[in-house]
Amino acid sequence: MLSDGGNMDKLESMQVYISVVDAHSFARAAEMLGLPRSTVSRVIKELEAWLGIQLLKRTTRKLSVTADGQRYYEECKRVLADIATMESSFPGRAAQPKGRFKVGMPQSFARHCILPGLPEFLHQYPELELMLCSSDSVEDIIQEGYDCVIRTGRIDDSTTLVARPLANFKWVILASPHYIDLYGRPESLADLKQHRAVGYLNHRTGRTTDWFFTLDGEDVALRMKETLIVDDTDAYIQAGVQGLGLVRIASYLAVPYLQSGALVSCMDNFSFDLPLSLVYPQNRYLPPSVRVFYDWCRGLLTSPERYP
């Protein structure tokens, strides 16, 4: 908790500013920091006066960040993370990670993979205030103030982001027993042309996703004939369970449906790897919270007991 009264030092002021941006509200930031709202407002005004720039645009309904404010926010995050990591590298300061920790990941991945094991992580690091948010885009990491995100698929090289591998799963093609009774089980790429699939809409591209396969060491994309298009993972899987078409999902999502017999695996000889990475902003020091979360996730996701 930050102290009230007198002038805050620069690092405390930076923490206040980060909290206001993250909360999109002076009142919510004040509540989280345990400070009067007037103190938070005064700190922001003093920062703007000191820097000679406008950090925030205030209206009666909305609080938004200016371009200068966004750049200052990113630098504040970097500076405070560097300090925290540097201090934690000394034996006398190697306390547990603490404070707010904002993580983004796809909803389906959080629901099926992370949330079941999260009590263990929070028990191990009780001083972390974890914010778990739904996020699918690499581009929003810095803009939305994430400490790190989990991403599926290949991550392009970046000068501002670091991607560390977590685990590898596979795409699997599934169908309901009813669908197979009606149309048979596909066994080859040629067979797929005679089948129908459930389409998954990618809002960023405005089109349904291609199906990728590795053939003779090269990636091959295939467009399927689609009878239904959805934009939600649970709806997509349920459409497959109802026999509306073939579906293609990550193997970690498929396990309970295969075990129950609600879905049957097809084309087992044709696979396509699905890498998972932890992505975070490039800093000189790796923040302790990111380090422990990476280590925990890697152990969780590579456990054969949980994800055979």
Cα–Cα nearest to 169, from 269, 253, 252, 249: 252
Distance CA 298, CA 290 (A): 12
CATH number of the domain encompassing residue 218: 3.40.190.290
**Residue ranges of the alpha helices (H) in 66-217?**
67-88, 107-109, 118-124, 140-143, 177-183, 189-192
Distance CA 226, CA 61 (A): 43
Residue numbers of the domain that contains 82: 10-89
CA angle 46, 49, 53 (to 5 degrees): 125
Q: Are residues 133 and 210 in the same domain?
A: yes
3-state secondary structure 179-210: HHHHHCCCCCHHHHCCCEEEEEEECCCCEECC
CATH number of the domain encompassing residue 76: 1.10.10.10
With 0.75 as the threshold, say if the pTM is over it: no
Which residue has 């044709």 as its token pair? 270
Q: Are residues 135 and 188 in the same domain?
A: yes
Residue 8: predicted pLDDT? 63
**Is 226 within 8 Å of 192 (Cβ atoms)?**
no
Q: Are residues 169 and 248 in the same domain?
A: yes
Residue 91: predicted pLDDT? 56
Of 65, 89, 113, the position where a domain reaches its end is: 89
Cα–Cα nearest to 282, from 14, 22, 104, 77: 77
Q: Are residues 146 and 27 in the same domain?
A: no
Residue 159: predicted pLDDT? 67
Amino acid 212 reads F
Q: Are residues 183 and 240 in the same domain?
A: yes
In total, the chain counts a number of residues equal to 308
| Helix or strand (DSSP H, E) at 222 | strand 218-222
CA angle 268, 273, 276 (to 5 degrees): 135
> pLDDT-derived band of residue 302, with 50, 70 and 90 as boundaries?
confident
Task: Give domain status of residue 1, yes or no.
Answer: no
> pLDDT-derived band of residue 6, with 50, 70 and 90 as boundaries?
very low
Longest dimension (CA), the chain: 76
Q: Are residues 137 and 270 in the same domain?
A: yes
How does pLDDT run across 89-119, given as a tens digit for each residue?
Answer: 665 555 578 888 889 998 888 988 899 999 9
**Is 254 within 8 Å of 112 (Cβ atoms)?**
no
Of 42, 66, 89, the position where a domain reaches its end is: 89
Task: Give domain status of residue 5, yes or no.
Answer: no
Could you give the C-alpha distances from 143 to 66, 69, 71, 140, 149, in angstroms and in order?
Answer: 12, 11, 9, 5, 13
Distance CA 43, CA 41 (A): 6
Amino acid 298 reads R
Residue 47 has phi, psi (to 5 degrees) of -65, -45
Query: Would the pLDDT of 142 be above 50?
Result: yes
Q: Are residues 122 and 100 in the same domain?
A: yes
Task: Give domain status of residue 147, yes or no.
Answer: yes
132 Cβ partners below 8 Å, 6+ apart?
A: 103, 105, 110, 114, 115, 118
Of 68, 89, 110, the position where a domain reaches its end is: 89
Residue 140: predicted pLDDT? 63
Query: Would the pLDDT of 218 be above 80?
Result: no
Residue 204: predicted pLDDT? 77
Could you give the C-alpha distances from 294 to 79, 129, 152, 239, 266, in angstroms and in order?
Answer: 21, 16, 15, 34, 33
Q: Are residues 285 and 237 in the same domain?
A: yes
> pLDDT-derived band of residue 4, with 50, 70 and 90 as boundaries?
very low
For residue 134, the cross-strand partners are 105
Which range among 4-8, 54-58, 286-290 has the greatest average pLDDT?
54-58
For residue 294, the cross-strand partners are none
How many structural domains comprise the chain?
2
Q: Are residues 17 and 150 in the same domain?
A: no
**Is 253 within 8 Å of 131 (Cβ atoms)?**
no
Q: Are residues 129 and 233 in the same domain?
A: yes
Cα–Cα nearest to 283, from 82, 11, 145: 82
